[in-house]
């Protein structure tokens, strides 16, 4: 690869070559400028926020109430809420998604596989706000039939529906990881007397497990960033509760709720939103990088794979 | 374990695997089916006359089409161009790799964060206010990293030999990229762009943050008009508990899904025809 890039060490003399190279470089510059503007805007307001609120309070305070008389600026309650939703959603989605991925990759017939592919793709393209509607108007009332003590805004309904939303991510990427295991190895195992089940469970699954783990990390990244389902279904409580029948407030749902009021620029609440957004940026950026690294480990042709 | 016992055991494992797979498939299909039934049943109920008189979808629909257009026109060329440069032109120095990884991993940052950035950059910084243009720019900025990430993957999966063979036959660098690499990667690039674009069309959170209106009296006719869109309209109606609004919200959801399906169909057709013409 390096050679292909450096093969044009001398600048091309053809004007067309120069023009296209310049245009593509311009696109890269624009994309980089947009990224820098996003990171810069969040960073600037966050730095201003930390001039008013000490970092120690942000990290150690046990209440997040920016608009109260005596405001609390501790990020921990919001992080706890996000962990609850992302963790709960993953626990709900993982077994179903993993079984489905193995089933579709190794067992399902052609017709079943194509129907299920379409269904998974459909689930993956439903907008979050529509899922939020589903959670609030169907899942919560249905769950109320099981637990009459369920609050109107609760964590369990949000977890279930966020789990449904991230299911396609796990299914699709885990299948890719399983599909990347060379078929010849599996055939050799069967030729040596292993059954199909052994080849799948003892050979393919362990060989693909980094990719599967990566798919779970990427799915959790989406769950951490999920805003609309949580805002609509889990309410906006100020306290922290680990009871799934009660409401949950996450980093994202705080942002959505805060923006519905009037945010005066320069106010402490305005700065608090940027600080929360910066935390979300760091968290999801890191999780995405980790997930992608894991996924491309099991994939020889992805960026970060053999070519780079 | 004796041979017959092992064989029985394996039969049991196989039966269990198949049954589990069937259950997982059933759960997935049932969830999708319930979603569809709930939406269609609720959308079919007529809301009270008093509400329905003031709640059309025309302005939200026009807003969403504007936003889709702005996002596509800005994000697709910039994102694909940047991906081509990063994969095919940029030297593999540490600085370029850093930039490529930042742009790629920004794809994992949730839309709501871009909404906050858009509030500072476009609504306040550039003084655009909560307009269609500010919304379109925000969606474009959040779509670019997704396009870069998927296009980079598509370009990286083109076999290296294709580039060397074309170079060896005397093609220039741009000719290699245009005639060989882009042609081979086109289906995957278009697929990635469609997914990113549809995600942007369905995004409610960033538009909500930068101040989309839940109630407008006229359809936006230019990018300077107040921001309104189907996802935010769906949210505004879903968040109102009064009777009648669930029906409206379901109607808005179905309309949104319909618009997305239509856009997806157009892009799918483009991909199909493109692929055929090129082969």
pLDDT digits (tens, 9 = 90+) for B228-275: 889 998 998 888 877 778 888 888 899 999 999 999 998 888 888 766
Structure tokens, B86: 């990063």
Dihedral of alpha carbons A55, A60, A64, A70, sign: negative
What is the pLDDT at residue A294?
Answer: 94
State yes or no: pLDDT of A221 exceeds 50: yes
Residue A254 dihedral angles phi and psi, to the nearest 5°:
-60, -45
Q: Do B235 and A37 touch (CB under 8 A)?
A: no
Fold of B62-278: MetI-like fold (1.10.3720)
Average pLDDT over residues A97-102: 95
Q: For all residues of chain A together, what is the average pLDDT?
A: 88
Residue among B33, B27, B188, B19 at smallest CA distance from A102: B19
Selected for mutation to probe chain B from A140, A291, A303 (highest B CB count within 10 Å) is A303
User: Strand A72-73 and strand A64-65: pairing?
Assistant: antiparallel
User: How much of chain A, in percent, has pLDDT values that exceed 90?
Assistant: 61
Q: Closest partner residue to B246 among A17, A99, A137, by Cβ?
A: A137
Average pLDDT over residues A46-53: 92
Q: Can you list the domains of chain A with their CATH numbers?
A: 72-297 (1.10.3720.10)
Q: For all residues of chain B together, what is the average pLDDT?
A: 87
pLDDT band for position B196 (cuts 50, 70, 90): very high
- Indicate the burial class of A50 (C-beta count within 10 angstroms; 0-12, 13-18, 19 or more): middle
Residues of A in contact with B112 (CB under 8 A): 225, 227, 252, 255-256, 277, 280
Question: By the 8 A CB rule, do B157 and A300 touch?
Answer: no
Residues of A in contact with B38 (CB under 8 A): 134, 137-138
What is the pLDDT at residue B73?
Answer: 96
Q: How many angstroms separate the CA atoms of B211 and B232, rounded?
A: 10
Question: By the 8 A CB rule, do A81 and A244 touch?
Answer: no
Question: By the 8 A CB rule, do A75 and A64 touch?
Answer: yes
Instruction: Annotate chain A with three-state secondary structure.
Output: CHHHHHCCCCCCCCHHHHHHHHHHHHHHHHHHHHHHHHHHHHHHHHHHHHHHCCHHHHHHCCCEECCCCCCEECCHHHHHHHHHHHHHHHHHHHHHHHHHHHHHHHHCCHHHHHHHHHHHHHHHHCCHHHHHHHHHHHHHHHHHHHCCCCCCCCHHHHHHHHHHHHHHHHHHHHHHHHHCCCHHHHHHHHHCCCCHHHHHHHHHHHHCHHHHHHHHHHHHHHHHHCCHHHHHHCCCCCCCCCCCCCCCCCHHHHHHHHHHCCCCCCCHHHHHHHHHHHHHHHHHHHHHHHHHHHHHHCCCCCCCCCCC
Residues of A in contact with B121 (CB under 8 A): 37-38, 41
Residue A78 dihedral angles phi and psi, to the nearest 5°:
-70, -40
Residues of B in contact with A32 (CB under 8 A): 82, 99, 103
Residues of B in contact with A17 (CB under 8 A): 172-174
pLDDT digits (tens, 9 = 90+) for B24-37: 999 999 999 999 99
What residue spans define the domains of chain B? 62-278
Exposure pattern of B114-131 as b/e (b: 16+ CB <10 Å)? bbbbbbbbbbbeeebebb
Determine the residue of chain B that is closest to A166 in CA distance: B28
Question: By the 8 A CB rule, do B170 and B246 touch?
Answer: no
Selected for mutation to probe chain A from B33, B109, B166 (highest A CB count within 10 Å) is B109
Q: Do B17 and A197 touch (CB under 8 A)?
A: yes
Question: By the 8 A CB rule, do A97 and A170 touch?
Answer: yes
Q: How many angstroms separate the CA atoms of A27 and B40, rounded?
A: 43
State yes or no: pLDDT of A166 exceeds 70: yes
pLDDT digits (tens, 9 = 90+) for B130-145: 889 999 999 999 999 9
pLDDT band for position B276 (cuts 50, 70, 90): low
| Residue located via tokens 């120095």 | B93
What is the pLDDT at residue A63?
Answer: 85
Average pLDDT over residues A93-121: 93
Q: Do B116 and A136 touch (CB under 8 A)?
A: no
Q: How many angstroms separate the CA atoms of A233 and A158, rounded?
A: 6
Rounded to the nearest angstrom, the minimum Cα separation between A65 and chain B is 19
Rounded to the nearest angstrom, the minimum Cα separation between A202 and chain B is 12
Determine the residue of chain B that is closest to A235 in CA distance: B239
In this prediction the ipTM stands at: 0.90
Q: How many angstroms separate the CA atoms of B191 and B147, rounded?
A: 10
What is the pLDDT at residue A4?
Answer: 56
Rounded to the nearest angstrom, the minimum Cα separation between A251 and chain B is 10
Rounded to the nearest angstrom, the minimum Cα separation between B70 and chain A is 16
pLDDT digits (tens, 9 = 90+) for A175-207: 999 999 999 999 999 999 888 888 888 899 999
């Amino acid at each position: 690869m390096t050679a292909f890039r450096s093969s044009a060490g001398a600048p091309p003399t053809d004007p067309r070559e120069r023009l296209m190279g310049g245009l593509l470089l311009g696109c890269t510059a624009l994309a980089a400028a947009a990224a820098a503007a996003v990171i810069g805007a969040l960073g600037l307001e966050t730095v201003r926020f930390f001039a008013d609120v000490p970092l120690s309070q942000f990290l150690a305070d046990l209440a997040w109430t920016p608009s109260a008389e005596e405001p609390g600026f501790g990020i921990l309650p919001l992080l706890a809420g996000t962990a609850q939703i992302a963790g709960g959603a993953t626990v709900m989605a993982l077994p179903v998604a993993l079984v489905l991925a193995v089933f579709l990759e190794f067992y399902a017939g052609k017709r079943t596989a194509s129907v299920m592919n379409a269904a998974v793709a459909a689930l993956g393209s439903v907008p979050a706000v529509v899922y939020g509607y589903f959670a609030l108007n169907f899942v919560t009332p249905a769950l109320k039939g099981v637990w009459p003590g369920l609050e109107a805004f609760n964590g369990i309904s949000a977890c279930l529906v966020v789990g449904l939303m991230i299911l396609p991510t796990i299914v699709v990427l885990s299948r890719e990881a399983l599909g990347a295991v060379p078929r010849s190895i599996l055939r050799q195992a069967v030729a040596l007397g292993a059954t199909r089940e052994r080849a799948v469970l003892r050979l393919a699954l362990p060989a693909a497990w980094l990719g599967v783990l990566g798919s779970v990390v990427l799915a959790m990244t989406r769950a951490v960033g999920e805003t609309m389902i949580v805002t609509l279904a889990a309410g906006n409580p100020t306290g922290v509760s680990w009871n799934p029948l009660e409401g949950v407030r996450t980093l994202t749902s705080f942002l959505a709720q805060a923006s519905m009021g009037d945010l005066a620029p320069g106010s402490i609440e305005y700065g608090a939103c940027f600080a929360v957004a910066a935390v979300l940026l760091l968290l999801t950026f890191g999780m995405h990088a980790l997930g992608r690294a894991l996924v491309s480990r099991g994939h020889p042709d992805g960026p970060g794979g053999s070519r780079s | 374990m004796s041979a017959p016992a092992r064989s029985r055991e394996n039969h049991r494992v196989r039966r269990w695997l198949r049954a589990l797979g069937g259950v997982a498939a059933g759960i997935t299909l049932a969830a999708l089916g319930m979603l569809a039934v709930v939406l269609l049943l609720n959308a079919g109920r007529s809301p009270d006359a008093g509400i329905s008189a003031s709640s059309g979808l025309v302005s939200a629909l026009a807003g969403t089409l504007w936003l889709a257009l702005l996002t596509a026109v800005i994000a697709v060329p910039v994102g694909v161009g940047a991906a081509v440069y990063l994969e095919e032109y940029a030297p593999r120095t540490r600085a370029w790799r850093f930039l490529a990884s930042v742009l790629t991993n920004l794809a994992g940052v949730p839309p709501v964060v871009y909404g906050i950035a858009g509030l500072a950059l476009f609504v306040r910084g550039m003084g655009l206010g909560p307009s269609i243009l500010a919304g379109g720019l925000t969606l474009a900025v959040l779509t670019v990293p997704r396009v870069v990430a998927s296009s980079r993957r598509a370009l990286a999966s083109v076999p290296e030999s294709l580039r060397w063979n074309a170079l060896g036959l005397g093609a220039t660098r741009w000719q290699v990229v245009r005639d060989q690499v882009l042609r081979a990667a086109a289906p995957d690039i278009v697929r990635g762009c469609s997914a990113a674009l549809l995600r942007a069309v369905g995004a409610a959170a960033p538009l909500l943050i930068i101040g989309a209106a839940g109630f407008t009296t006229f359809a936006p006719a230019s990018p300077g008009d107040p921001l309104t869109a189907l996802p935010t309209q769906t949210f505004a109606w879903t968040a109102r508990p009064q009777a009648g609004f669930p029906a409206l919200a379901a109607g808005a959801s179905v309309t949104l899904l319909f618009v997305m399906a239509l856009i997806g169909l157009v892009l799918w057709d483009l991909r199909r025809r493109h692929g055929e013409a090129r082969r």
